[in-house]
Chain A
Amino acid sequence: GAVVSQHPSWVICKSGTSVKIECRSLDFQATTMFWYRQFPKQSLMLMATSNEGSKATYEQGVEKDKFLINHASLTLSTLTVTSAHPEDSSFYICSARWGNEKLFFGSGTQLSVL
């Protein structure tokens, strides 16, 4: 079956640094990728929808300059948390859409900002 690889699975960084998270579709071309964030004991919150070759569409309340999303190819989308602060510590997960229907999920990235 289709696989979405998300890397890294765990990252610890100092406050003020930037962190890049990669989401790759390994055996299919994903025209659309989604980025979510989860706070402890909360549901997933959609942050942005990323279409290959175009700018990401951010959900209301998500800072575009803080969470940079790049979808440069049909198999790769990246989320960069710029100038990370402790409040950015969270679990981030991507998903990739195959065709118009099927959705596959990455395994997530736990970000801890010291």
Chain B
Amino acid sequence: AQSVTQPDIHITVSEGASLELRCNYSYGATPYLFWYVQSPGQGLQLLLKYFSGDTLVQGIKGFEAEFKRSQSSFNLRKPSVHWSDAAEYFCAVYGQNFVFGPGTRLSVLP
């Protein structure tokens, strides 16, 4: 069975600081991997996805993620966080079906 973990429930960073949100998955093959963001009162927005090819994926809003097969990880990064990045972030895996992680809430300090 496939699963997704996001070890950090809540992360707080200062504006301008770098960010890394962790995501680990369990699946027998290479799944499709996604990062979504949900801002308060909004629906899900896709930040980026990985299907195959280059393991470093660029997304919208300055986000990137790196697929590491050996670690079964797909961590999301951003070099400089903006206050508008405060939201909840979900890692998702699509193998046999779609599985979302529990989410990481990001707070940004001014």
Q: Which residues of A does B touch, CB under 8 Å?
A: 1, 9, 34, 36, 38, 41, 43-44, 46, 49, 91, 93, 95, 100-103, 105, 107-108, 110
Contacts and interface: CB of A to CB of B under 8 A. Distances in A.
Interface in B40-87: 40, 43-44, 46, 49, 51
A43 B46 contact: yes
B98 A9 contact: no
Contacts of A43: 34, 36, 46, 49
A102 B103 contact: yes
A43 B90 CA distance: 13
Contacts of B102: 1
Q: How large is the interface on B (under 10, 10 to 19, 20 to 34, 35 or more residues)?
A: 20 to 34
A97 B14 CA distance: 28
Contacts of A107: 97-99
Nearest to B32: A41
Contacts, number: 42
Nearest to A91: B98
Main secondary structure of the interface of B (DSSP, over half): strand
Interface string B24-43: 00000000101010101001
Contact of B98 (A41, A46, A93): A93
A101 B51 contact: no
Given A41-B32, A43-B34, A44-B46, A103 B98 contact: no
A24 to B, nearest CB: 17
Contact of B44 (A1, A46, A100): A46
A44 B97 contact: no
A41 B51 contact: yes
A103 B88 contact: yes
Contacts of A34: 43-44
A91 to B, nearest CB: 6
A20 B74 CA distance: 34
Given A46-B43, A46-B44, A108-B97, A103 B103 contact: yes
